[in-house]
Structure 1
Amino acid sequence: MIKHHPSETLLAQYCSAQLPASLSVAVSIHVDMCPVCQAKVAQLEAENAKEVFSESQLSSSTVKNSHDTEEVDFGTDLLNLITADPSIDEVYEVEPVTIQVNEHNYELPRALTRISHGRFTQVGKLARSRVAIDDGPLRSSLLHIGAGGEIPEHTHTGFEVTLLLDGEFSDEEGSYVPGDFIWQDGSHQHTPLTKNGCLCFTVVSSALHFNKGLSKLLNPIGNLIY
């Protein structure tokens, strides 16, 4: 059962289209996988709709058309204006997309089926593919950890979101299942490891900071690998 969810603030920002693209994708994937957050999002969207289309607003809000100065009612007339333009919405059927990583096949979540990603770069049991989301300093990736693999103990100079898509992993805080949405920042340090392997979607805002042993040697090039 999914135990780790986006915060109430993140869900509210998601429903109001206030999140950066990469975080919006992460929350969207989680919501598709999590019945609890699906219900919360449905309630938030209903509340947003009620606020926008309340009867008092519809009866009092009018705007003059800049071309012919006719008044447009924000109820029926606005809806007609939106639906009259066929370019507003592109309706398409989502086709499943499967990727292969080290002889393992994974079906991508719906939110990633139309977003391209690069080739997987392999370092030991870790493989990373950059997801093509242009989002300023935020970096989105598909991260695969092979069976028996781990990421050395580290903390974060910014924040990291890890959304488990398939498989399992654990750290000092416990074990995770597909759909778990884990937010880490500079107040956390952990050593993710997996017995059977896993695929994650990750979003990071800055480099990882490795804490122990030989892994500290990676810190001078941390900005190049985040």
Structure 2
Amino acid sequence: MIKYHPSKQLMQKHIMGELPAGLSVAIAAHIELCDTCSKEFELLEAQQASVTFEEPCEENDSFELDFMIDDITQLSMFDQVVSHEPDIFEYEDKRVQLPRAIAALKLGSFMNAGKVSRARFELDEGPLRSSLLHIKPGGEIPEHTHTGFELTLLLDGTFEDESGQYVPGDFIMLDGRHNHSPRTKDGCLCFTLVDNALHFNKGLSKLLNPIGKLIY
């Protein structure tokens, strides 16, 4: 069962269009995977719509709204229903149906480091980096903390760290207050979003810290 969810404040900002693209993609994908948040999101959307349409319009706003409605009513309408074909991502010997928000993004090539592979999504978001992360069975990311924030949305498989075990749909937000070492017995696939380099705490992985800004 999914235990980790985006906050109500984040979902509200998503509705208002106030979040960067990568974070909005993660929230939309989680909502598609999580029945609880899907229902909560529908309620928040309805509340926001009620507030928006009950607010009195200024004269200029009303003028622009009339133009918008005219443009919409003049559009050619089609009654043909186009079915949605599930987007399947294949990795190792698995086939995973990706959430539509993630499947719509353009993905770069995978880079491999041992049992960990990462491919970045082609989103121009300044310091934010959105990626598809694959950890092979028995793989582990060395213990680290965060110089910014790290969001992980688990899409397939399971992994665990010092805080517990995670299942597909879990939406995990971490920052500099957290140290962890994710590891997986059977392998996993994740959508990740970071805004700064990881900081490794132990062993040879600490050698990566000086160039962390170049590889995050």
> Aligned-pair distance for 1:120?
1.2
Map of 1:20 onto structure 2: 20
Q: Could you tell me how far apart the structure 2 residues matched to 1:24 and 1:73 are?
A: 27
Over residues 122-146 of structure 1, what are the superposed CA-to-partner deviations in whole Å (9 max), with x where a residue is unaligned?
A: 1111010111111111000000000
Aligned residues: 213
> Aligned-pair distance for 1:62?
4.4
Map of 1:146 onto structure 2: 136
Q: Residue 126 of structure 2 aligns to a residue in which SS? A: coil
Map of 1:170 onto structure 2: 160
Amino acid at match of 2:42: A
Aligned pair partner of 1:111 in 101, 110, 119: 101
> Aligned-pair distance for 1:155?
0.3
> Aligned-pair distance for 1:29?
0.3
Map of 1:29 onto structure 2: 29
Q: Could you tell me how far apart the structure 2 residues matched to 1:3 and 1:26 are?
A: 16
Matches within 5 A, 1:26-175: 26-54=26-54, 57=56, 62-63=59-60, 72=63, 79-85=69-75, 94-175=84-165
Q: Could you tell me how far apart the structure 2 residues matched to 1:225 and 1:150 are?
A: 18
1:180 matched to 2:170? The reply is: yes
Retained in 2: the 8 A contact 1:157–1:207? yes
Structure 1, unaligned stretches of length 5 or more? Answer: 65-70
> Aligned-pair distance for 1:195?
0.5
* Percentage of pairs with the same residue: 52
Over residues 44-99 of structure 1, what are the superposed CA-to-partner deviations in whole Å (9 max), with x where a residue is unaligned?
A: 11111111112x63xx65449xxxxxx8595x87534434346xxxx965432223
Q: TM-score if structure 2 supplies the norm length?
A: 0.90
Amino acid at match of 2:128: L
Q: TM-score if structure 1 supplies the norm length?
A: 0.86
Q: Residue 204 of structure 2 aligns to a residue in which SS? A: helix
Larger radius of gyration: 1
Aligned pair partner of 2:180 in 190, 199, 216: 190
1:3 matched to 2:32? The reply is: no
Q: Could you tell me how far apart the structure 1 residues matched to 2:35 and 2:163 are?
A: 23
Amino acid at match of 2:145: T
1:201 matched to 2:191? The reply is: yes
> Aligned-pair distance for 1:101?
2.5
